[in-house]
């Protein structure tokens, strides 16, 4: 039995969930998201609660049960509260700025790196060395943060690069004389 799958998805006030066959659509104050649940999962909407259960006892159905519940819950949280990821720029001369909706970064290359905002994602630069990525889709926010980090990942000798807020970079000792 899936411990996560057994949990009920609570729908807060201001959020509407519609189930059309296997498609779950969630609409809230921040936007609308929809996702098609696997055929192995049964969905019941009763009042302000959404319950998911496997249709049979196959390995795939049990595996998709917890995943489906988590993805639907992430959609509910996304349209009601939203998601945010923070990146830090560490290094001399490393800084970020907004050019319209695109993100322009100087990361030690001979050129600036421009990163256009995907649809549904907003960038905020509170300080030159900090980037906040916000949106309603948890997967898209995390993927965008990972793509930006991949441009200049933190290196182990000086620790320079783009890192997640609070990320610990394991430092290596330099070579000896």
Q: Give me the CATH number covering residue 39.
A: 3.90.930.12
pLDDT at 157 over 80: yes
| pLDDT mean across residues, the chain | 93
pLDDT at 2 over 80: no
Is residue 174 one of the residues assigned to a domain?
A: no
Task: Give the whole-angstrom CA distance, residue 85 versus residue 132.
Answer: 6
Is residue 54 one of the residues assigned to a domain?
A: yes
pTM of the model: 0.89
For the chain, percent of residues with pLDDT exceeding 70: 99
Is residue 171 one of the residues assigned to a domain?
A: no
Specify burial of residue 28 (Cβ count, 10 A radius: 0-12, 13-18, 19+).
buried
Is residue 176 one of the residues assigned to a domain?
A: no
pLDDT at 104 over 90: yes
Task: Pick the last residue of a domain from 54, 80, 106.
Answer: 80
Task: Pick the last residue of a domain from 65, 80, 95.
Answer: 80
Residue 114 CB coordination number (10 Å): 10
Counted domains in the chain: 2
- Domain range for 43: 3-80
Instruction: Produce one character per residue of 126-143: b if its CB has 16 or more CB atoms within 10 Å, e if not.
Output: eeeeebbbbbbbbebbee
Specify burial of residue 122 (Cβ count, 10 A radius: 0-12, 13-18, 19+).
middle
């Amino acid at each position: 039995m899936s411990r996560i799958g057994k949990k009920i998805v609570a729908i807060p006030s201001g959020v509407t969930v519609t189930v059309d066959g296997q498609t779950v659509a969630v609409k809230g104050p921040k936007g609308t998201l929809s996702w098609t649940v696997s055929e192995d999962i049964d969905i019941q909407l009763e009042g302000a609660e959404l319950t998911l259960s496997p249709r049979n006892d196959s390995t795939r159905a049990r595996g998709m049960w917890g995943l489906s519940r988590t993805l639907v819950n992430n959609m509910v949280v996304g349209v009601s509260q939203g998601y945010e990821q923070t990146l830090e720029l560490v290094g001399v001369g490393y800084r970020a700025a907004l050019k319209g909706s695109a993100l322009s970064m100087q990361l030690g290359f001979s050129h600036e790196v421009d990163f256009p905002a995907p649809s549904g994602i907003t960038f905020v630069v509170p300080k030159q060395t900090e980037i906040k990525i916000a949106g309603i889709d948890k997967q898209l926010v995390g993927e965008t943060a990972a793509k930006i980090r991949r441009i200049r990942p933190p290196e182990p000798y000086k620790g320079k690069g783009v890192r997640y807020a609070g990320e610990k970079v394991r430092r290596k000792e330099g070579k000896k004389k």
